[in-house]
Chains A and B, each alone.
Chain A
Amino acid sequence: MTQPMSQRLLGVFPIIVFACLFAYLGVQSTTFLSLDTLELITKQAVPTVIVSLGLATVVIAGGDDVVAGGIDLSIPATAIICAAIIADQLTNQGASLPFAMILAFGAAAIIGAINAFLVVGLRMTPLLATLSMSVAIVGITKVITSSRRIGVTDETIVFIRDGTIFGIAASVVMTTVLVLVFYHALHRTRWGMNMQATGGSRDAAEISGILTRRFVVQSFLIAAFAGWIASVFVLARGSGSSPGTEENMLLEMVLATFLGAAFSPRRVVTLWGAVLGAVVVSALSVGFISIGVNVFWTGCIKGALILLVVASASVTTKGRS
């Protein structure tokens, strides 16, 4: 019953490709392999790590079939609209940060609830439901910001951007704590195991008395929550809200989460995998810039990498059944 050698090789194939890419970057750029670069990479990775936590949760609860399983493409859009609301409140309306955050939380909660209703209530394909939601949310964001950049100078946001805790960048420390909380909930509690069972086999979970619909609903709510948290770090990274940030984040989120499956020993989407994937993807972006690759080519390469990762995942699953 163990997988044949060729299957195993196929599963780690993306890792090999990424390892080669990094080796190439290390040789090409003298500054790439240094502590400063590492700090830059982790700081840049923060928003992607957080939205990937959300996507990983949805995939864990919904199953890793890209079409029929769980997926939420609206998380970056959620992060962007929350960032826009907070920036608009702080800069244009003169509101306090807690008030702006609560307002944004309300928006995220509504998005999560609509996603859950579309997927669980109306039984829509998650891919289509959340893609449409993403487009709609980006539209509303443009209405709020008139498609303009809104700068933010709030002290807390600036601290998250520049501050340090025990000598480590504040945003990285905060994100690490968040990752640990997510990890504990999903991998170390009964609730998390039941959520994993729901995604692993809906029938098996139902038979074991698990209320699977409830877990799928919760996963979309958690995804929206992750989008809300990510918005603060998006604001910090960009010193405000700027239009169009969601596109790149969507690309990186999907790449990171499914690349994570290649890192996990069981070849399934996990939280650790998603986090590691997000850092790897961020490292690539930084690396490409450091050796002066044209920005337009970066998108092309990332797209090709997504294809590679998803294709190798679907080929290995096929071989398994």
Chain B
Amino acid sequence: MTDTLLKMCDITKSFPGVLALDAVDLEVERGEIHGLVGENGAGKSTIIKVLAGVYKADGGSVDIDGETLADVTPRSVHDAGVRFIHQELHLVQHFTVTESVFMGQEEQTLLGLSARAMRAKAEAFFETALGTQLSGKTLIRDLGIAERKLVQIARALIDAKAKLVVFDEPTAPLTSGETDKLFAAIRKLKEQGIAMIYVSHYLAEITDICDRVTVLRNGQNAGRFDDVFDNSAPAMISAMVGREIDELFPTTEHSAAAPRLEIQSLCADAFNDVSLTVHRHEIVGIAGLVGSGREDLIDTIYGLKAPSSGTLKIDGIAQRFRAPSEAVAAGIALVPRDRRHDGLVLDMSVSDNVNLAALDSVSRWTLENRRASHAVATEMSETLDIRPRNIAATARLLSGGNQQKVVLGRWLNKGADIFILDEPTVGVDVGAKVEIYQHIENLAKDGVSVLVSSSDPGELIGLCDRILVMLRGKIVAEVSTTDLGVDTLVALTTGGAVQEVAV
């Protein structure tokens, strides 16, 4: 099998200040399933978008079926037989399966739509091409997620002109049973000679289904695996990671004391049977891919979403938060992942933002004492080194790192004793990162319990005492960060580790 279908050569793409792709090559043969892996920001989605014609490459060439595409546009790529299965489903809830499959490509005669013919075609396609049975009359909203994914695939392939199908994280919202269903369909497509590019963070899936794998790292090729075995994951991880933890992190000088936040068998839609304990003086990390249930767990602890069962105790007392305000009253502070929307009131000043959660302490008879609140804000701005040192500045105008410090300052001011940090350094420059890490460390030293949820394995290892790893809604491992390598953690989060690591 040396019949090359897609050949992308020397693809270079830069965005202002970032070289996203640096002379990347990607070759896919006819009838193979080709895995594309790399960490966040490695350039996976950028090269897919170049192939889709969404981004125009600065340099390089795209050959499909031996012919160089003069102009890579969504149309020319589509005409060449490349189809994309996006991560989002993009389906109309109240449409039937048939209507969804034929959306934008309906068949009609002079008398109107050929509804019966389309339905027969759609059902036949599910049976022969995807190896499953699905009634064309079922409404999308009555289908499971895996079936909706199959509808999305059918829509892309029903015209029978597809040669190459690109799957972008197709299994992210699926449970493992549903994944098997999708894989059966993908294998069936392979039998029909269709080539596929499979982009995923789940290495266990990659080794399971892919024939060859291309690894990207920092916008460059970091290796290609021409033979993939069940035990290839560790080698892929070292190719993906290829770096040591930076010296950004303060040394940990605290030892855990009495338990403060205790969660037992917490269940909700996105996660199942989660138990964890955070002690005083302790920083606990939660690792997991997008869709692992990590974000929902944080939201549930904070009272944004209701758990279906399980208990949450603070200092041994059972709590039930119906809204975030109750969590705040119980001494929990959340530094949210989307600080621009959920963390700050962007059009208010730094001073107002810092005082937002603790207005009672600077108010008398419900009126805010401006002098007192400004004094608090000035002090906080000194402690945290918020730049510019102007508490009247609008929060919108601050850099990402300084905005995050304002959010931190609000909770320091409030005097919360459990800090939940969700992606604390996304969009924060290196200098501010170091400062934020030091503040988190100081919090723990002062007796605060800290729970950090992050998609950056290096950050978790450097910052935390212990890390809990979530995979598909369950905690699959609990590891101490002493002597923990990034590759071990990546292996755990991506399901690429065969054995669980003991504490």
Which of A8-16, A122-130, A205-213, A248-256 is near enough to bind chain B?
A205-213
Q: Is B141 a contact partner of A1 (Cβ separation < 8 A)? A: yes
Say yes or no: A320 contacts B86, CB within 8 Å: no
CB-based contact A1/B142 at 8 Å: yes
Q: Give complex CA distance A188, B113 in Å.
A: 5
Q: Hey, what's the 0/1 contact readout for A253-266 against B, CB within 8 Å counting as 1?
A: 00000000000001
What separation, in Å, do the CA atoms of A207 and B78 have in the docked complex? 12
Q: A39 in the interface, Cβ–Cβ < 8 Å? A: no
Q: Is the CB of B103 within 8 A of A320?
A: no
Other-chain contact of B95, A1, A184, A197, A320 (Cβ < 8 Å): A197
Minimum CB distance partner of B139 in chain A: A266
* Least CB distance, B6 to chain A, in whole angstroms: 21
Interface bits B101-116 vs A (CB < 8 Å: 1, else 0): 0111111100011010
Assuming A188-B112, A266-B94, is B105 touching A193 (CB within 8 A)?
no
Contact between A200 and B142, CB atoms less than 8 A apart: no
B30 to chain A minimum Cβ distance, whole angstroms, is 26
Which single member of A1, A2, A197, A267 contacts B92 (CB below 8 Å)?
A197
Q: Is B106 in contact with A193, judged by CB distance below 8 angstroms?
A: yes
Bound Cα distance A200, B100 (Å): 11
The answer to whether A204 touches B103, judged by C-beta atoms less than 8 angstroms apart, is yes
Is there contact, CB below 8 Å, between B112 and A184? yes
In the assembled complex, how far is the CB of residue B72 from the closest CB belonging to chain A, in whole angstroms? Answer: 17
Number of chain A residues whose Cβ lies closer than 8 Å to a Cβ of chain B: 23
A190 nearest CB neighbor, chain B only: B106
| Given A1-B144, A193-B99: A208 in contact with B104 (beta carbons within 8 A) | yes
Q: In the complex, what residues of A have CB within 8 A of residue B103's CB? A: 193-194, 197, 204-205, 208, 210
CB-based contact A210/B142 at 8 Å: no
Whether B141 and A201, one on each chain, are in contact in the complex, defined by CB atoms closer than 8 angstroms, is: no
* Candidates A1, A189, A207; contact of B143 at CB < 8 Å: A1
Query: In the bound complex, how far is the Cα of B142 from the Cα of A2, in angstroms?
Result: 5
Give CA–CA (A187, B10) in the complex, Å: 49
Kindly state whether residue B243 has any CB partner on chain A within 8 Å.
no
Contacts A189-B112, A190-B113, A197-B104 given; does A207 touch B90 at CB 8 Å: yes
What is the chain B residue whose CB lies nearest that of A208? B104
B259 → A minimal CB distance (Å): 38
A81 an interface residue at 8 Å Cβ cutoff?
Answer: no
Q: Which of B113-144 contact A (CB under 8 A)?
A: 113, 115, 139, 141-144
A85 at the interface (CB under 8 A from B): no
Instruction: Please give me the residue from chain B that is nearest to A197 by CB atom.
Output: B103
Q: Please name all residues of chain A whose beta carbon is closer than 8 Å to the beta carbon of B93 when the two chains form the complex.
A: 200-201, 320
Q: How far is it, in angstroms, between the C-alpha of A201 and the C-alpha of B144 when the chains are bound?
A: 19
Contact B112 A268 (CB under 8 A): no
Residues of B within 8 A of A194 (CB): 103-104, 106
Q: Would you call A200 and B139 a contact (CB within 8 A)?
A: no
Q: Is A203 an interface residue (CB 8 A)?
A: yes
Output the nearest chain A residue to B86 by Cβ-Cβ distance: A207
Chain B contact-residue range equals 20 to 34
The closest CB in chain B to the CB of A210 belongs to: B104
Residues of B within 8 A of A184 (CB): 112
Quote the shortest CB–CB distance from B384 to chain A (angstroms): 39
Q: Give the CA-CA distance A320 to B102 in the complex, in Å.
A: 24
Taking CB atoms and an 8 Å cut-off, the chain A residues in 1-44 that contact chain B are 1-2
Most buried by B among A2, A190, A320: A190
Contact B95 A208 (CB under 8 A): no
Closest residue to A264 on the B side, CB-wise?
A: B94
| Interface residue ranges of A118-175 to B (CB < 8 Å) | none
Tell me which residues across on chain A come within 8 A of B142, comparing CB atoms.
1-2
Q: In the complex, A267→B141 CA distance in Å?
A: 12
Q: B280 within 8 Å of A by Cβ?
A: no
The reply on B416 being an interface residue by CB < 8 A is: no
Distance A266 CA – B141 CA, assembled complex (angstroms): 10
Residues of B within 8 A of A207 (CB): 86, 90
Would A208 and B141 be within 8 Å (CB), given that A197-B95, A200-B95, A268-B94 are in contact? no
Chain B residue contacts of A189, Cβ below 8 A: 108, 112-113
Q: A1-B142, A2-B142, A197-B92 are in contact. Are A208 and B113 (CB under 8 A)?
A: no
Q: Which residue of A lies closest to B155 (CB)?
A: A208
For A201, give its contact among B86, B92, B112, B139 (CB under 8 Å).
B92
A91–B93 Cα gap in the complex (Å)? Answer: 51
Bound state CA distance, A209 and B159, in angstroms? 14
- CB-defined contacts of B94 to chain A, threshold 8 Å: 200, 266-268
B245 to chain A, nearest CB (A): 39
Q: How far is the CB of A304 from chain B (nearest CB, A)?
A: 27
CA distance A1 to B91 in the complex (A): 15
CB of A34, distance to nearest CB on chain B (Å) = 37
How far does the alpha carbon of A208 sit from the alpha carbon of B100 in the complex, in Å? 10
Q: A residues within 8 A CB of B104?
A: 194, 197, 205, 208-210
The complex places the Cα of A190 from the Cα of B111 at a distance, in Å, of 11
Name, among B94, B102, B139, the residue most crowded by chain A CB atoms within 10 Å (CB to CB).
B94
In the complex, which residues 95-129 of chain A have their Cβ closer than 8 Å to any Cβ of chain B? none
Contacts A203-B90, A204-B91 given; does A320 touch B141 at CB 8 Å: yes
Complexed CA–CA distance, A132 and B358 (Å): 43
Cβ contacts under 8 Å, B106 to chain A: 190, 193-194
Whole-angstrom distance between the Cβ of B85 and the nearest chain A Cβ: 11
Bound complex: CA A184 to CA B115 (Å): 13
A258 CB to closest chain B CB (Å) equals 15
Give, as a whole number of angstroms, the nearest-CB distance from A242 to chain B.
Answer: 40
Instruction: A28 to B99: give the CA distance in the assembly, Å.
Output: 46
Q: In the complex the two chains form, is B112's CB within 8 Å of A200's CB?
A: no
What separation, in Å, do the CA atoms of A203 and B93 have in the docked complex?
13
Nearest residue, chain B, Cβ from A266: B94
**CA A4 – CA B106 in complex, angstroms?**
32
- A-B CB contact pairs (8 Å), 15 listed: A2-B142, A188-B113, A189-B113, A193-B99, A193-B106, A194-B103, A196-B92, A197-B95, A197-B99, A200-B93, A201-B90, A201-B92, A201-B93, A203-B90, A210-B103
Chain A interfacial positions (CB closer than 8 Å to B): 1-2, 184, 188-190, 193-194, 196-197, 200-201, 203-205, 207-210, 266-268, 320
Interface set of B (CB-CB < 8 Å, partner A) = 86, 88, 90-95, 99, 102-108, 112-113, 115, 139, 141-144, 155
Listed from nearest, the 10 A-B pairs whose CB atoms lie closest are A208-B104, A200-B92, A188-B112, A204-B90, A190-B106, A266-B94, A208-B103, A201-B92, A190-B108, A209-B104
Beyond A1-B143, A204-B92, A320-B141: 10 further Cβ-contacts under 8 Å? A184-B112, A190-B108, A193-B102, A197-B103, A201-B93, A203-B88, A203-B90, A204-B91, A210-B104, A266-B139
